[in-house]
Structures are given as C-alpha cells and as structure tokens.
Structure 1
C-alpha cells in the first residue's frame, strides 16, 4: 500500500472489515438544500465541488465520529484510512482521526470522489428543467443508474471505478481492515457492487434512503475471502449520543426510469 491509496497491494489474502463513512455536512449540502427550498435554479456554492468545505455542523459531526472511532479496540482499528480527495471528505477523515487519537495517515484515492455532474453542476432540478429541458427528459427516460450528463458521469460510471477499488481489498494482507471516507452516492454504489444488486434494487434503495452525514456503514468477512456481509448501514447514533445534529442531505428522489 502506498500514499496514493490501495494501488500497490499485491498479497493474496483479503481484508476482513470495511468501514464506509459519509463526509460531514458540507457548505455545498447546505447551499443545495437552501436552493431547493427557495425554488432557485442555481446552487450558490462557494467553490468548485472538489474544494467545498465542511460546514460548522459538519466539523462537529466529524469530531463526534472521531469520538466513536476512539472506542474501537486498538487491535481492531482500520489499518488504512483512505479518503476521497474532495475537501469535505478529507477534512472529515482528518478531523475524525485526530479526535480519535489515531496515528493513521489519511491517504487519498481519486476513485472515491463524488459523481461528476458535467453541465448540470450547480443546478437544482428546477434549473435543469429550465435550462436543459432535453437533458431533464433524457434523465427521466434513462433513470439514475445509466443517465450520463454531458461532461459528467452516470452512476454506472461511478460503479465501474469503485469496482477496481473494491477488487484491491481482495489482495491485502489477511486480517487487514480498511476505512473509506467518501460520499453518499459512492456508499450506495459500494452496496450495489458488493451485494450484486440489480438496477431496480439500487434505485429502490436510493429513492427511499438518504445516507446521513458522518454515518458509518460496516461490512465484514472473517475469512478475508469471498462475499462481504453488511453488518450495519447508515448508523449515526454516535451523533445523537453526543448532542450533535443529524443532517440528511439527499439527492433527487426521482431515480427510476420513467
């Protein structure tokens, strides 16, 4: 394993535990929710998507996450902490690791970045309909898994890059544990890949479930080989226990082809 993430792993045995963490609430999450509620077409984000920081609440969530991680016994802690390079994810990882008192270095892997939206970046659903009505129609026709905005990615594209990340978990030393800090769509698509979901199954999940900010999802496989078992999903009890706000910032709920 090197500073670029998981790319140099070459051993035969596999990892036994995978923790998936969604980043804390970001300034972009807040801006997007405000824009939707106001009926605006444009989301007033302060920076490009990769550079959007955590909100004040997001920073508190990351600290609370670290407190929860500190409870993990030393011999059961992740051996590697790998983050999306986007600021909100990396900040979450760094704050949480510091709060937990871990000495682990946070590595970056661009394959864990959020979905790229191309020409639809910074637009609300209303904005897409008003400015790119043909794209809005095409998105409804194809559904979220296969719709690719010009210059952007479909969910299937994101799943493709995640497959290479997840395959590398099969080549780590036996007994290794890995924590990935990433984004809501990435976590849902990890489930899609690891659980062999169909299009209907992943879209049903996306339509009914919002991955909470700073939530923890856990997969295990004690043998270090074969299929993974989902031990827990979207857990944010550590926020409630510490009096930190639980925030829900979901994407467009219209995900199925129509």
Structure 2
C-alpha cells in the first residue's frame, strides 16, 4: 500500500471523529426540520463521546503502523472537531515523543454562508431561489451568499497540496480534516470524475484513514486512494 521511500509521496488524511454537528444534522434531516436548531458556530462544534473514541482508535492505528510509514507531521483544520481529533491521535500515537503540528485554515470545511444552519428542506422553503440556482449550475459551482463553492474548496486544497510538496519533502504528512477536503484531494489526486464532478454527496465516514499518492512515481505503488482502515470496522 505504501511506497518504499520516505518522501512525502504518500499523504495520509482522515476525517474528524463524529461531532455534535453530525448528530444534530442527521436528526434534523431525518425529522424534517428546516433549521438545525443549534447555537454553536460551525467552527466550535465538539466531538461526541463516540468521536473521542474514534480519535483514540485512530491514534492506536497510527501507532501500529510500521515506523517507516508513521506520519512525522500533522496538518490540521482549525475547527474544534478536527483539533480534538488530532489531540486524540497525538495522545495515543505519540505519547513520549514529538510530532510536528501545524494548523492550516485551507483544510477547513466548505463555508455554507447563509444556508449553513439549514437542512435541505430549510433551503428549499426559506431560500427557493438558491435551491433553484444550485440545481441549475450544479453543486460544484454553486456558491451561496457568504459561502464557498466546491470549486473554491478544490482550489484552496490544491494550494495546500502544492505547499506540502514544496515545504514538507521527506516528511510523512497526516491531514486531520473534513469530508469535503478529502473529496477535493480525491478529485485532484485520485478520481477527477468522482463525487465532486458528479454532484454526489461524496460520503466519507468519520475517522476513516486514507492514503493518497502525491506524485506519479508513488502512484505506481499506491492506488489513486487507499483506505488504510476505518474505525467502523474495528
């Protein structure tokens, strides 16, 4: 699954553990509500108890990797759920040792602007013009007021990947991030005709660890993207 050298040719990435936002949104969508009904800002949503367990599980998984493949640097989204996930990983994988750690805002989730607190039903009822625009232009290019399009996310993730190639050559890098960012990485490095191009949701389970090839040489040793393992299977 991994190339034999120690360059940053293989990039590990994981979605944060289950968050309060994941639970609240799933409940709101299932019950047909228009609003999420949560006071916390998106960047301040914590992990659930299960999410903390998943973060600890990721740490133990990384600890069990061969030393030559264990990450030497973590790049993390500034959102609370990602930071708490990284904290759990570090506590269980790097206790008594050092790991380079950097917060990178380019790894944050997509900004939804004025529709961020709404369910799909809520968008259709309260902003029918935006729902119609999203249907017309497609989700890849749709940018809600105050928010981002999927294309915007791909562009900032592309810049982040370019920096990893330039600044972290010789390091093994783990990204602790969000579903849309992993979709964007897959779009750039793996399957450009995948979820983002097809307007799919691009579902990425919480706490699943992926390996990506950052260059063509590594691509011969690593598939477009590989699932290392997932907490759901543990």
TM-score (norm 2): 0.87
Deviation at 1:230, TM superposition (A): 2.5
Q: Partners of 1:223 and 1:194 in 2: how far apart?
A: 10
- The 2-side partners of 1:37 and 1:168 are apart by 40
* 2:112 aligned to which of 112, 117, 137: 117
In 1, are the aligned partners of 2:72 and 2:100 still within 8 Å (CA)?
Answer: no
In structure 2, the residue matched to 1:92 is: 85
Check if 1:233 corresponds to 2:227.
Answer: yes
Determine whether 1:181 maps to 2:170.
no
Structure 1 contact 170–225 (Cα < 8 Å) conserved: no
Long gaps (5+) in structure 1? 1-12, 242-258
Is 1:27 aligned to 2:20, yes or no? yes
Partner Cα distance (2:134, 2:179) in 1:
19
The aligned length equals 226
Shift of 1:124: 0.2
Q: 1:201 and 1:125 mapped to 2: Cα distance?
A: 18
2:44 corresponding residue in structure 1: 51
Residue 175 of structure 2: SS of its match in structure 1? strand
Q: Is the 8 A contact 1:26 1:58 kept in 2?
A: yes
Query: 1:34-77, CA deviations, whole angstroms, 9 ceiling, x for partnerless residues?
Result: 00111000012341001100011111111111111110122322
Which residue is equivalent to 2:11? 18
Any unmatched runs of 5+ in structure 2?
1-5
Aligned: 1:149 with 2:144 = yes
CA pair 221-28 structure 1, distance change in 2 beyond 3 A: closer
The answer to whether the 8 A contact 2:150-2:196 is kept is no
Give me the whole-angstrom Cα distance separating, in 2, the residues matched to 1:165 and 1:119.
Answer: 26
Runs of 4+ in 1 over 6 A off after TM superposition: 222-228
Return 13-22 or 33-42, whichever deviates more. Answer: 13-22
Cα drift, residue 225 of structure 1: 7.6
Distance of 1:221 and 1:118 partners within structure 2? 31
| Helix, strand or coil at the partner of 1:206 | coil
Rounded to whole Å, the distance in 2 between the matches of 1:233 and 1:189 is 16
Contact kept in structure 2, 1:81 and 1:107, CA below 8 Å: yes
1:161 and 1:122, CA in 2 relative to 1: closer, same or farther beyond 3 A? same
Q: CA RMSD in A?
A: 2.5
SS in 2 for 1:106: strand
